[in-house]
Each structure stands twice: as structure tokens, then as C-alpha cells.
Structure 1
Amino acid sequence: MPTLFYVDDSRDDLFYLDYISRKRQIDVDLFCFSTVETAFDALERHLADGKSMPDLLIADLYMPLDSGIGLINRLRGDGRFKMMRLAICSGSDADEDRARALEAGADFYLEKPLDLVTILLNL
């Protein structure tokens, strides 16, 4: 079963992805976080507990305390997470946002609303 970490300051977006995974009975371990810090701490605990690296971490581009790009930079700068698959998501379809995300080290850029089935098919 794939493991997915999702970081977004929007409680509605977090609820939506969790709701879709349950409603469609999608076989995924989904961990949702509303801040970069809680996600990073959970990721460190996840690895400290001997669990494998999540298959994907998705972070919202625009968050008030720390952006998804800040998290991507932090993860790419930490040897433990360099090879982790990372994505940035946003409601924005602006080419500049996509370019910034990819330049920061994201493997891909996703537009909201997220399509969980499509994401998992591309892991």
C-alpha cells in the first residue's frame, strides 16, 4: 500500500483528500498535516520508527508560516530525504508557480483539486 504525506494549511483541502480516499476506498496510507513543522516532525518519527520513506510528499505552494517550496528546500537539503519523491500543489495554474516549484526540487506540480487516483497511478 502506498504511503502519502499531504501538507496543506486549508482544512477543507485536507478533509477533501481524506474523504475521497475513504469514499472510494482507495488503498493508501494517507497522512495529512496542516503545517510544515508537524509534517517534518512526523516524517522524522516515521523514519525513526523504522518505517520506509513515504512514496510521495505533497505540499501546498502557498501557506502562511512556511511555503511548500520552503519544505521542499529543507527536504532536498537533508541527506535522509534527498531521494524522496516530492510534489507541490496549488490552485494556481500560473507558469511561474510551476517553474518555481520545479526549480526548488519538486518532482512535479499538481493543480487543485487533487485527483488522488491519478496521483497514485503515477507513483
Structure 2
Amino acid sequence: MADRSEETRDLFAALFLSMGYEVKTVTTGTKALAWAPLFRPHAIFTAIHLPDQNGFELCAALRRMPQTANVLIVAITGHLARDCAQRARAAGFDHYLVKPVKLEAILATMGPWAAEPAAR
């Protein structure tokens, strides 16, 4: 999870940890790009507004990396604007969730991983 808000990062981390997932949180897109190839995540949840770059740039960069090209990438944002959702799709996001995000929406984005953490 990449988000500038410590509260959001902690909330998502607690959720995924309680489901049995290994979790890594970062505060910037630069850190996400450095850590993702090492961590080799199955899913990446990121904010659109990060301190050093926007989530669109981060997602596009992650899609160019062989280790994360096919990873599930989900945008978490407070913006419902239609153009943001279109930009998210163009950047390579699989899902675009608007805060406040319901647990059911998060689980729906994860597909089979949400039901069977051991299958990660």
C-alpha cells in the first residue's frame, strides 16, 4: 500500500494482515518502485496523490517493470471525477476505488486471493 496518509496505510495493512497476507507499506511512489521488484507483490493498492509523484505515473512505471507488469493494481482515491477514472484505466490500474471504500469493494478487487490467502 502506497499512501501519504499513515492512517490509511495502517488501516489497509491491518486489514490485509488480519486476512493472512504479508504486507509492505510505503509513503511515496519512489519507495514503491524501489520495493515492488524485491517484494514481488500479488496486489498493489495506491493513492493517486503521493508526495513525490501521482498514482498514474506510479502505475504506469509499475506496468513497465517485468516483476509487476501483471500485478493487480488498485487506485484508492477521494476523487470521483470521471476523467480521473479514465486516466486510471489508461495508466494501467485494474480498479479505481473512491473513499470511503467499503470492505466488500476491496475484497471484490482481489478476486480469488481474498477468499484464499494461502493461494497467494
TM-score, normalization by structure 2: 0.77
2: CA distance, partners of 1:85 / 1:44: 14
How many residues align? The count is 110
Distance 1:116 1:29, change over 3 A: farther
Distance 1:117 1:54, change over 3 A: farther
- More deviation, 11-20/56-65: 11-20
Q: Is the 2:2–2:25 contact (alpha carbons within 8 Å) kept by the matching residues of 1?
A: yes
Percentage identity across aligned positions?
22
Superposed displacement of residue 111, structure 1: 1.4
1:14 aligns with 2:1: no
Letter in 2 for 1:86: I
Q: Which residue of 2 aligns with 1:50?
A: none
Letter in 2 for 1:33: V
Q: Which residue of 2 aligns with 1:62?
A: 49
Tell me, which stretches of 5 or more residues in structure 2 are unaligned? 111-120
TM-score, normalization by structure 1: 0.75
The root-mean-square deviation of aligned C-alpha atoms, in Å, is: 2.0
Which structure has the highest helix share of the two?
A: 2
Distance 1:87 1:66, change over 3 A: same
1:34 to 27, 35, 38: 27
